[in-house]
Amino acid sequence: MDISLNWWAVLAGGALHWVLGAFWYSPLLFARPWAATKGIDMENDEDGGSVWMYLSGLLAGMLLAAAMAVIVGLANATTFGSALILGVIVWAGFNGGPGLANAMFGGSLKLWLIDSSYPLTSVVLISLILTIWV
């Protein structure tokens, strides 16, 4: 198995995942419905997140992008369409399906929709970056 990774594309994908997450869970998008579903009072929540939380999110994004780079290479995805399909398949297998099962056994469908649509968007965009950035 000989796969060479485009580390600039991996860095871009990881950074995109991190920025998208910050935007996704901001008041501009889903912070309020997410917090309400989790029972968090955003007005009185003084712990807005530590530096370590944000750094761990960046590290997670980099690991996700590196793993996706390997998968894109193994799948030989070379077109926009193949990147899109690959991203959806990876999301469905590793996040969407398992997350839905968790939501059905005591979780919330609304929370699942918010939480799982973020990695869906992220994985598809990372797959596109890795496929198109040659």
Which position has the higher pLDDT, 49 or 4? 4
Residue type, 132: I
pLDDT per residue over 84-124, tens digit each? Answer: 999 999 999 999 999 998 888 877 889 999 999 999 999 99
User: Would you state the pLDDT for residue 49?
Assistant: 66
pLDDT per residue over 15-67, tens digit each? Answer: 999 999 999 999 999 999 999 998 888 776 565 667 888 899 999 999 999 99
User: Would you state the pLDDT for residue 45?
Assistant: 59
CB neighbours of residue 40 within 10 Å: 13
Which position has the higher pLDDT, 73 or 45? 73
DSSP 3-39: ----HHHHHHHHHHHHHHHHHHTSTTTTHHHHHHHHT
Domain ranges of the chain: 7-40+48-132
Q: Is 1 helix (H, G, I), strand (E, B) or coil?
A: coil
Whole-angstrom distance, CA of residue 103 vs CA of residue 17: 23
